[in-house]
Amino acid sequence: MLQAESLVEVWRGPILESVHGGHVAVVDDSGQIVAEWGDPGQTILPRSSCKMVQALPLMISGAADAAGLAPQQLALACASHNGAPLHVPHVQSWLSDLSLSEQDLRCGPEPSRDKDLRHAMIRDGETPNQTHNNCSGKHSGFLTLSRHLRAGPEYLALDHPVQRAVLEAFEATTGETSPGHGIDGCSAPNFACSLRGLARAMSKFASAEGCNTLSDAKLRLRQAMIAHPELVAGEGRACTNLMRACEGRAAIKTGAEGVYVAILPERKLGIAIKIADGATRAAETAITALLAKFGALDAAHPVAQALLKAPVSNRRQIIIGHVVPAQTLR
């Protein structure tokens, strides 16, 4: 196993204070690695970065079309959203259309990540519910598929038809047999793969042209993410800001513990990153550098600049340092 490679540096004034190591794989539409840093064979848990893969059974089964899902709902199926007023009504409406309720979800309640809504709920004595969970869109997709398959309500069980379909899609898209799984923050199984396999999956989304049922499913999910970046994450989030700045040239998705992926349709490339220490700040800087490196993002764009030289501030809000890509990514 190769060691993690230095990807991101933290400078305090003229002093290099910290270094974030990690691994990167960039894969083309033939499934071959075209660029790598660290160990592309590293086994990882993709966490939320693979939600578009988890949404594939929803599409290829016909469940999405049978339920009349709009692109906004497809974007939410791939989302780690803020649980903001922009997101929660969409999820509530989706469940209502299925004659289901928040109680049918199995993701667990989570305080809204939208500061204004969270504070308002605290003031009003309101308790957050499962529709505020950042994974409630993915789980609504699971429920839609379960209803279509006439399967039972415990759709997170490994032997449930929903999760069997997810594993089948995951292994087919990564081109690997998963060595195991962990349980995600939303209680769903999260299947492991190599970083190379995750990038390979993203390259298949990048090269999808709608020529068959599976390709059409990947194309529609990719297009939904690009068309509705505000639903994939939320205002102020790196995923949303970067997709807007890329102007249709990339679909981008974060995952917990320093994972990030990008789908680049024009270049038919898939990118996957794992920061070894799980730092989100490093993953955001690294994915921005790679988007610029492979032509999906103008490095001079203000969104790019804010992440390629992310400020480090002190208690008086004085900028005293920056988070920047290491020389290997510049």
Give the model confidence (pLDDT) of 136-162 as tens digits.
999 999 999 999 999 999 999 999 999
The pLDDT score that the predictor gives to residue 101 is 97
The tokens for 221 are 């999910």
The tokens for 8 are 């991101």
Residue 9: phi and psi, rounded to 5, are: -120, 145
Strands 259-264 and 269-275: antiparallel
User: How many whole angstroms separate alpha carbon 216 and alpha carbon 60?
Assistant: 9
Does pTM top 0.85 for this prediction? Answer: yes
> pLDDT for 245-270, tens place per residue?
999 999 999 999 999 999 999 999 99
Residue 112: phi and psi, rounded to 5, are: -55, 140
* DSSP bridge pairs for 282: none
Q: What is the largest CA-CA distance in the chain?
A: 62
Contact (CB, 8 A) for 266 and 295: yes
User: How many whole angstroms separate alpha carbon 13 and alpha carbon 10?
Assistant: 10
CA-nearest of 80, 74, 42, 44 to 59 is 74
> pLDDT for 94-110, tens place per residue?
999 999 999 999 999 99
Determine the residue type at 80: S
Q: Residue 56: which pLDDT band, with cuts at 50, 70 and 90?
A: very high
Residue 195: phi and psi, rounded to 5, are: -60, -40
Contact (CB, 8 A) for 43 and 204: no
The domain in which residue 309 lies consists of 5-329
Work out how many domains the chain is built from and give that number: 1
CATH number, domain at 28? 3.40.710
92 three-state secondary structure: helix
The pLDDT score that the predictor gives to residue 1 is 55
> Positive or negative, the Cα torsion across 83, 198, 227, 65?
negative
**For residue 78, what are the contacts with CB-CB under 8 A and spacing of at least 6?**
51, 52, 55, 137, 138, 221, 224, 225, 232, 253
What integer is the mean pLDDT of 179-184? 98
